[in-house]
Amino acid sequence: MLSLHDLLSANSYPGRGVLCARTHSGAVLGGYFLTGRSPASRDRALRLIDGELVVGPLTMGRHDPLRHYAAATATGGWLVLGNGEQVSQAAERLRAGAAPTEALSGFAYEPDPPIRTSRITALISRDGGRTTVFGAARPSRAARPTSNVMTLAVQDLEPGEAVLLTTYDSDGERVSVAAPFTEAAVGARNGEELLDEIWSGLDERFRIAAAVVDPARGPGSAIQRSV
């Protein structure tokens, strides 16, 4: 199993990513990161606003629902991480009593041809992170226009284990649909070290921001790194 750092280093432009990891101290933590190539994609920052981690414009500009969204929010039972407006939608479903798989159903990849960016989401339980449910709405690698919708339940990660979802697999020029999920090894003992593993693995040409969040404490606990 590759280390998280090496896995990210091998994917020059992963787009956006969500992960759940158990550190060697036993803590389960959530992670989110953001990379970009175009000026519009790079003109973004990650800020804590009203108890949510929000991706918004760095400079004054028009709100773009494909680029600006809550990347981390929390319900009574779940930390919700993701790369688009589905984060808020999934949280509202959970608050209304939906099961995790129901909360992640019915989404579609982003309407941004030709790339067709996947929507990726992680629900991490706030009871010590015993359960994480990942969801992804991805385009087919064939010509079919409908979304492939996947949910993946992960329980009881061992110390040093992580599960990662990214939107892209790319050498920095050519972009393709990423694998549904990847398991990785982490060496981190705490959140700061996990953030270091994520940040140092991202290509400095494209990295914008990254955050690590304690599910029990919610988005307000986030530690961040940005350009």
- Is the bond leading into 159 cis (omega within 30 degrees of zero)? no
Residue 103 is part of a domain; what is its CATH number? 3.60.20.20
- Tell how many helices (H) and how many strands (E) occur in the chain: 5, 15
Model confidence over 5-62: pLDDT tens digits? 999 999 999 999 999 999 999 999 999 999 999 998 898 999 999 999 999 988 766 7
Predicted confidence at residue 140, as pLDDT, reads 86
The H-assigned helical ranges of 64-218 are: 86-95, 100-103, 191-201
Predicted confidence at residue 19, as pLDDT, reads 98
Containing structural domain, residue 58:
4-226
Task: Flag residues of the chain having pLDDT under 50.
Answer: none
Q: Which tokens go with 74?
A: 């929390």
pTM: 0.95
Predicted confidence at residue 65, as pLDDT, reads 72
Predicted confidence at residue 127, as pLDDT, reads 93
Instruction: Give the count of beta carbons closer than 10 Å to the beta carbon of residue 52.
Output: 21
Predicted confidence at residue 162, as pLDDT, reads 98
| Structural domains of the chain, count | 1
Predicted confidence at residue 60, as pLDDT, reads 65
Cα end-to-end distance, the chain, whole Å: 29
Residues 28 and 84: their CA atoms lie apart, in Å, by 23
